[in-house]
């Protein structure tokens, strides 16, 4: 019975991850109505540190050595710091939530290129075909979308966060896979809290409007995203090849675009729906031998 449950959980994990990760773009749009990007992220990460400290105190996992702590800090800055900071800054510069999801949509191509060289993973021609199909799907989903706001700064932040989440995923798999996720995540969140705190202190006013909308969105991003989806992501990274995990990010623009359409009225037409279908097909192709 336990074995059947574990198999069901393993099969459901990728879908759950995609939905949870996609809500991050939506939640970020809500919180940025009440706080500047780095200020909000500093508060969020400080709360996450508190939650992770409780988990670590109860579970008492094995702590990484000094090298492991250093690797965890680097992975945290890449996966949480620069990636989340870039995404929040892009949305703060009026880049639509659906459009900002283009970042993880492009990640699989970059991840596969680097993984084949850095991790020695073999990406088959069929998988390359799936990755290209997913890229085409992303282009369809985000076609003809307005690049409103200060697009230059927004797209620069988006490009930086794309590189950061890609390198962070690979770095986590290569150097942190053997580290207990509870102690490792605590180290990562402490490092990134300091990172965002310094950034907010140097570049922002630190003013926060504690509205109900801000508190609820912050609670969701703290608990569900930073604890739930990140823990799930690292579990998937340990269990699967980097290319297969990265391919799941192809579904994020589709799910985010649907959520943004329902919540904010962002555009969703027949061409975008066709792009969603292409993204779903791409994930099946890339993960064909990894399920």
pTM of whole model > 0.85? no
The SS3 of residue 57 is helix
Q: Output the pLDDT for position 198.
A: 97
Query: CA-CA distance, 245 to 162, in Å (whole number)?
Result: 15
CA dihedral 25, 31, 36, 37 (to 10 degrees): -30
Contact of 59 with 182, CB cutoff 8 Å: yes
Tell me the average pLDDT across 141-149. 62
Tell me the average pLDDT across 197-214. 95
Q: Which of 254, 246, 248 is nearest to 110 (CA)?
A: 246
Is the pLDDT score of 112 beyond 50? yes
Q: Output the pLDDT for position 66.
A: 93
User: In the structure, what pLDDT confidence band is assigned to residue 255 with cuts at 50, 70 and 90?
Assistant: confident
Both tokens assigned to 197: 């705190």
Least confident of 43-47, 197-201, 206-210, 264-268: 264-268
Look-up: residue for tokens 């290319």? 243
User: In the structure, what pLDDT confidence band is assigned to residue 137 with cuts at 50, 70 and 90?
Assistant: confident
More confident residue, 61 or 129: 61
Is the pLDDT score of 2 beyond 60? no
Q: Which of 222, 226, 230, 234 is nearest to 180 (CA)?
A: 234
Q: What is the mean pLDDT of the chain?
A: 82
Tell me the average pLDDT across 166-183. 87
Contact residues for 1 (Cβ-Cβ < 8 A; gap 6+):
none
Query: CA-CA distance, 266 to 259, in Å (whole number)?
Result: 9
CB crowding 148-185: b at 16 or more within 10 Å, else e: eeebeebbebbebbbbbbbbbbbbbbebbeebbbbbbb
Contact residues for 282 (Cβ-Cβ < 8 A; gap 6+):
130, 131, 133, 134, 137, 247, 250
Each residue of 164-173: pLDDT tens digit? 988 888 898 8
Determine the distance from the C-alpha atom of residue 208 to the mean position of all C-alpha atoms in its chain, rounded to a whole number.
Answer: 24
Is the pLDDT score of 199 beyond 50? yes
Q: What is the DSSP string of 120-166?
A: -----HHHHHHHHHHHHHHHHHTTT----SSHHHHHHHHHHHHHHHH
Percentage of residues in the chain having pLDDT higher than 70: 81
Contact residues for 59 (Cβ-Cβ < 8 A; gap 6+):
182
User: In the structure, what pLDDT confidence band is assigned to residue 291 with cuts at 50, 70 and 90?
Assistant: very low
Contact of 188 with 33, CB cutoff 8 Å: no
């Amino acid at each position: 019975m336990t074995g059947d449950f574990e198999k069901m959980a393993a099969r459901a994990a990728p879908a759950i991850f995609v939905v949870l990760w996609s809500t991050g773009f939506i939640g970020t749009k809500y919180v940025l109505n009440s706080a500047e990007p780095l200020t909000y992220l500093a508060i969020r990460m400080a709360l996450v540190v508190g939650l992770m400290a409780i988990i670590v105190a109860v579970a008492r996992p094995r702590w990484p050595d000094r090298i492991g702590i250093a690797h965890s800090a680097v992975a945290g800055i890449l996966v949480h710091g620069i990636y989340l900071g870039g995404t929040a800054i892009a949305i703060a510069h009026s880049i639509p939530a659906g459009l900002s999801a283009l970042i993880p949509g492009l990640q699989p191509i970059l991840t596969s290129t680097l993984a084949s060289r850095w991790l020695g993973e073999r990406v088959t021609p069929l998988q390359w075909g799936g990755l290209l199909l997913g890229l085409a799907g992303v282009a369809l989903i985000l076609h003809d979308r307005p690049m409103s706001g200060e697009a230059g700064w927004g797209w620069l932040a988006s490009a930086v966060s794309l590189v950061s989440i890609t390198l962070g995923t690979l770095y986590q798999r290569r150097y942190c896979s053997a580290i207990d996720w509870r102690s490792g995540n605590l180290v990562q969140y402490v490092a990134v809290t300091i990172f965002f705190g310094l950034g907010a202190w140097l570049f922002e006013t630190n003013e926060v409007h504690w509205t109900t909308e801000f508190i609820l969105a912050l609670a969701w991003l703290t608990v569900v995203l930073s604890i739930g989806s990140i823990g799930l992501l690292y579990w998937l990274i340990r269990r699967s090849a980097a290319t297969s995990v990265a391919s799941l990010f192809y579904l994020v623009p589709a799910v985010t675009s649907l959520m943004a359409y329902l919540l904010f009225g962002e555009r969703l037409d027949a061409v975008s729906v066709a792009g969603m279908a292409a993204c779903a097909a791409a994930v099946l192709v890339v993960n064909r031998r990894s399920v």
